[in-house]
């Protein structure tokens, strides 16, 4: 016993040094470009940032945020966007994944590839295309389409009543590829014997769905929900590129507000404070989701 561990020790000698060598670059990059910025964000959030000599102003940035009407509006917009996109995306992905199951392997792969395609295209390219789909003139593609249904032309991105919906619609049609693929993989991972046992008991399709599929996919759903909500709270690229947050701040999300504060008004201290508030909100929401939905989910 002692000998064996001796041999092992001799074999493992020098491993530690190799390990540190292997992780050295990763740690340096992490320390410089992730750890340092996080610490720095905390410090900057208590300052009025100026390139030469910032001034410490305590909690002024934070109190400024909570007093700002625009910040609460941005939070509301982000919430509305999240509530409208994430659950719908989950339901669509789930339904599509179920519908794909009885198909042949090649058909499954083809459909998965098609649904994943928008995720491959750059966000800037997609925003450019959607901008034209939402062309407010009667000749615009979407206006032509609703014209066929007898609905008058809309000023999609230009009116505060439809601007948020336009961003949501775009998200419905271009951001489900990943979750479909993950759902299909999870469905394929369910043990056949569950279905066989259920069939012997004479279970119908819906019974199997309710008693086997939904419980088995709960961890996957929770994963997609949590990552979806976290992602959605940070979303602002489409808003930035397509509406710029307008009209009348109807599409200003928190992410966009932070971006504007930092890079339009160059108030770095305030932006840092806003980003930390956002981080706290995301943390709380993720925690709540795990607490209430993750009771019997093991990770």
Partner 1 sequence: MALFNNHLGNRTAKYTRNTILVILLLLFAMATIFPIYFMIMSSFGDPVEAGAVSYSIWPSKFSLESYKFFFAFSEYSYRWILNSLVVATVVMVSNVVFATMAGYAFSKIQFRGRNVLFAILLAAMMIPYQVTQVPLYILIVNIFEIQNTYSALIMPTLVTVYNIFLAKQFMGTIPKEILESAKVEGCNQFQIFVKIIMPLSKTVMAVMAILTFMETWNTFFWPFLVTNTMDMQTIQVGLKNFRFANTTYFAPMMAGATISAVPMFILFFSLQRYFLEGVTVGAVKG
Query: Rule CB under 8 A: which of 154-173 touch partner 1?
Result: 173
Yes or no: say if 164 and 81 are a contact pair by the CB < 8 Å rule.
yes
Stretch that binds partner 1, among 59-67, 80-88, 154-162, 217-225 (CB under 8 A): 217-225
When asked if residue 27 is in the footprint of partner 1 (CB under 8 A), the reply is yes
8 Å CB contact between 229 and 285: yes
Residue numbers 182-201 binding partner 1 by CB under 8 A:
182, 185-187, 189-190, 192, 195-196, 199
Rounded Cα distance between 1 and 6, Å, is 8
Phi, psi of 114 (to 5 degrees): -60, -45
| Of the candidate residues 89, 157, 167, 276, the single one contacting partner 1 (CB under 8 A) | 276
124 binds partner 1 per the rule CB under 8 A: yes
| Matching residue, tokens 């709540």 | 288
End-to-end CA distance of the chain: 35
* Cα(213)–Cα(22) distance, integer angstroms: 42
By C-beta, is 107 or 151 nearer to partner 1?
Answer: 107
Query: Which tokens is 174 given?
Result: 């271009």
Judged by CB under 8 A, the chain residues 69 through 88 that form the site for partner 1 are: none
The answer to the question of residue 245 lying near partner 1 (CB under 8 A) is no
Strand, helix or coil for residue 298: coil
CB of 152 to partner 1, least distance (A): 18
Q: Report the residue from 62, 111, 165, 290 that binds partner 1 according to the rule CB under 8 A.
A: 111
Residue 89 has a CB neighbour count (10 Å cut-off) of 21
* Pairwise CA distance, residues 239 & 258, whole Å: 13
Stretch binding partner 1 (CB under 8 A), from 63-71, 83-91, 106-114, 153-161? 106-114
**Least CB distance to partner 1 at residue 249 (A):** 18
| Binder among 115, 221, 239, 260 for partner 1 (CB under 8 A) | 115
- Does residue 259 belong to the site contacting partner 1 (CB under 8 A)? yes
Nearest approach in angstroms of CB 271 to partner 1 is 5
CA atoms within 13 A on the CB side of 250: 17
Question: To the nearest whole angstrom, how small is the minimum distance from the Cβ of residue 79 to partner 1?
Answer: 15
Tell me how far, at minimum, the Cβ of 160 lies from partner 1, in Å: 21
Query: Cβ of residue 258: shortest distance to partner 1, in angstroms?
Result: 5
Angle CA 244–178–115, to nearest 5? 85
Identify which of 13, 176, 187, 17 has the alpha carbon closest to the alpha carbon of residue 99: 187
- For partner 1, which is the closer residue by CB, 230 or 293? 230
Q: Which tokens go with 113? A: 């590839």
Does 32 help bind partner 1 (rule: CB under 8 A)?
A: yes
Give 149's DSSP letter.
Answer: T
User: Which stretch in 25-33, 62-70, 77-85, 147-155 sits in contact with partner 1 by CB under 8 A?
Assistant: 25-33
């Amino acid at each position: 016993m002692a000998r064996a561990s001796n041999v092992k020790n001799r074999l493992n000698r020098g491993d530690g040094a190799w390990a540190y060598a292997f992780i050295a670059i990763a740690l340096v990059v992490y320390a410089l470009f992730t750890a340092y910025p996080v610490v720095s964000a905390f410090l900057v959030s208590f300052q009025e940032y100026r390139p030469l000599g910032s001034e410490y102003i305590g909690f002024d940035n934070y109190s400024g945020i909570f007093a700002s009407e625009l910040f609460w509006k941005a939070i509301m917009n982000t919430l509305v966007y999240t509530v409208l996109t994430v659950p719908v995306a989950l339901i669509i992905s789930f339904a599509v994944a179920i519908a794909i199951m009885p198909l042949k392997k090649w058909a499954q792969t083809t459909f998965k590839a098609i649904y994943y395609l928008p995720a491959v295209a750059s966000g800037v390219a997609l925003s450019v295309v959607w901008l034209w789909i939402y062309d407010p003139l009667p000749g615009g593609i979407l206006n032509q389409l609703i014209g066929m249904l007898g609905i008058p032309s809309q000023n999609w991105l230009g009116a505060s009543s439809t601007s948020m919906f336009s961003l949501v619609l775009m998200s419905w049609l271009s951001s489900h590829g990943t979750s479909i693929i993950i759902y299909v993989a999870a469905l394929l991972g369910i043990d056949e014997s569950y279905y066989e046992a259920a069939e012997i008991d004479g279970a119908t399709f819906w019974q199997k769905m309710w008693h086997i599929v939904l419980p088995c996919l709960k961890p996957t759903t929770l994963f997609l929900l949590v990552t979806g909500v976290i992602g959605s709270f940070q979303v602002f690229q489409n808003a930035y590129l397509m509406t710029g947050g307008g009209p009348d701040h109807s599409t200003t999300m928190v992410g966009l507000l932070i971006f504007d504060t930092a890079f339009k008004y160059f108030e770095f201290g305030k932006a840092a404070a806003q980003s930390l508030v956002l981080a706290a909100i995301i943390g709380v929401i993720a925690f709540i989701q795990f607490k209430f939905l993750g009771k019997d989910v093991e990770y």
